[in-house]
Amino acid sequence: MFVIIGYIVIVASVLGGFALAGGHLAALMQPLEVLMIGGAAIGAFFVGNTPKAVKATVKALPSVLKGSAYTRDMYMELMSLMFDVLSKVRKEGLMSIEGDIESPEQSPVFSKYPAVLKDHHIVEFITDYLRLMVSGNMDAFQIENLMDNEIETHHHEGHVPAACINKLADGLPAFGIVAAVMGVVHTMESVGAPPAELGMLIAHALVGTFLGILLAYGFVAPLGSLLEQKLEESSKMFQTVKVTLLASLNGYAPALAVEFGRKVLYSTERPTFSELEDHIKKAKSK
């Protein structure tokens, strides 16, 4: 929603200012300039990225139109889930959660938290490390190192679409110059034409530079920045799980382990201690 509003503000400000200054909006409608800039940019995008990167970028783009899924309610669900799982481990032993981690969709513990269950990445992260705790003999330092490596891999993969979009934005002004040069070449071919016609041709050529810069910094580059911010938000979920599980491995009670996880959240989404405690109590009563 904010993306669409932002685009409307950009277009209204630029075109509105141009019109108020006495400019003719029809002079900016140059489909051939758009064809040259857009076509060259898309072609360079395919040349400069692997098929895997192209697919990841195309898959990530729709997410920019959606609001953030990582809200305070989402984090409270996550920490309530962690509390329930760790409480079950503390009361009944590690083997008691074997069925929950093998089939989280059918688990009575996981099914209480549908918002978390929809995020298969975080569910897989939780169940994988609980499985290691159940079946392995690893200490907290080994698991922490493994978690760090997995989070780094997740972050690297998630950064690919943002990097592709940012590179595309970097190239658009240059393609705008290319379109402008092509327009100047066409103008020079028509050097014998009347001055009014030559002026129109030069104006058309300059539109290429205008479009390249506007598309780069007004439309494409902000998408790259937004994808990077969404990636940072998603990584915070993994860090919360990591800190909570490590606290449990180090012998802290479930309530304290969850408190460790709460403290790593961003202040804008972090629930207070009382809010989290009340949410856990309500979840337990279901």
Tokens at residue 14, please?
Answer: 């630029």
- pLDDT, mean over the chain: 88
pLDDT band at 196 (very low <50, low <70, confident <90, very high): confident
Q: Give the pLDDT confidence of 237-259 residue by residue, as tens digits.
A: 999 999 999 998 888 888 889 99
Q: What are phi and psi of 96, to 5 degrees?
A: -70, -20
pLDDT for 135: 77
Answer whether residue 83 shows pLDDT above 80. yes
Contact 25, 15 (CB under 8 A): yes
CA dist., res. 63 & res. 220, Å (int): 14
pLDDT band at 285 (very low <50, low <70, confident <90, very high): low
* Amino acid at residue number 72: R
> Which residues fall within 8 angstroms of residue 97, CB to CB, at 6 or more apart?
85, 88, 89, 109, 130, 134
pLDDT band at 185 (very low <50, low <70, confident <90, very high): confident
CA dist., res. 75 & res. 72, Å (int): 5
C-alpha distances in Å from residue 261, one per residue of 21, 188, 243, 282, 283? 55, 67, 5, 19, 18
CA dist., res. 210 & res. 130, Å (int): 55
- Whether the model pTM is above 0.75: yes
CA dist., res. 98 & res. 84, Å (int): 14
